[in-house]
Structure 1
Amino acid sequence: MEKNHRARIALVGLGPIGVETGRALTNREGILILGAADPAPDKAGRSLASLLDVPGAPDVPIDASTGALYARTRDSRGKQDVVVLCTGSRLDSVTPQIEEAVDAGFHVVSTCEELSYPELKNAAAARRIDQRARERGVAVLGTGVNPGLV
């Protein structure tokens, strides 16, 4: 990463894991949180700062849809950096969300446990995600989540 460059982050999914991830990313050197998306009526339309409730949390909107988030956060070059996807544990349920983010030009970091070794549970989806990411020049990383986070 070049000096003074900050990774532009979009958070998707603001349940307990997404909120704690957002808190962990707040005030981190090299990170700029551009926005978030969650369709839940108690979250969409709010400020991310009010939901995270930690000093320094960004006062950016929570969009009801990822499409709105991706369109709003695209920079003048049509690029974003990373979507942090905190929406599910099962690969079959998050594959469409990963594909949408990849198609929008994002690298993806996901807390989906099955994505940390996707060939084990869903090799076909893993191959499809890998091929799509390679074609678009982005990376997809499955990290799972430490139960102690929430």
Structure 2
Amino acid sequence: MRSPAGNRGRSLLCAAVLSLAGCISPREGMVTDVDPVRWDAPAGVVIPNADTTSLREMALFLRLNDRFGDDTVSFRIEVRTPDSLRCEETVLFAVPRGQSSAARARIADIPYRSRVQFPLTGDYRLTVTPCRPLQGVEAVGVRLQPTAAR
């Protein structure tokens, strides 16, 4: 039998390792599923924010299946802040070509904004709407990563 002190030490070691692993690549990701047969409706992603000072890199990501064949996509992107301000724009993205096995969906990471700062705490709501119907997109999401020091 192990002693309670030994288990506590092992637990503390595991917690330390997990916290260090979290510091290696701090990323946040929010995602929502869309209709892979014909995506033409708005898809909403909620970005909860508690950090009002950090700068972050923001990317859209698409989970694609073998029916997706486009090399560019246009989206109407609307952002609503926690205090209900709204910004909307239409953006054209090049979708990087990639190979994946038949058993795995392909993920396309598309840089969207650099050095983003969310000045308010609360939920930012991002709505992504394709400008024309798309086939083969299974999900859309937002990935945030701290901006590297210059």
Question: Is TM more than 0.5 here?
Answer: no
Higher RCO, 1 vs 2 (CA within 8 Å, ≥6 residues apart): 2
TM-score w.r.t. structure 1 length? 0.26
User: More strand by proportion, 1 or 2?
Assistant: 2
TM-score w.r.t. structure 2 length? 0.26
User: More helix by proportion, 1 or 2?
Assistant: 1
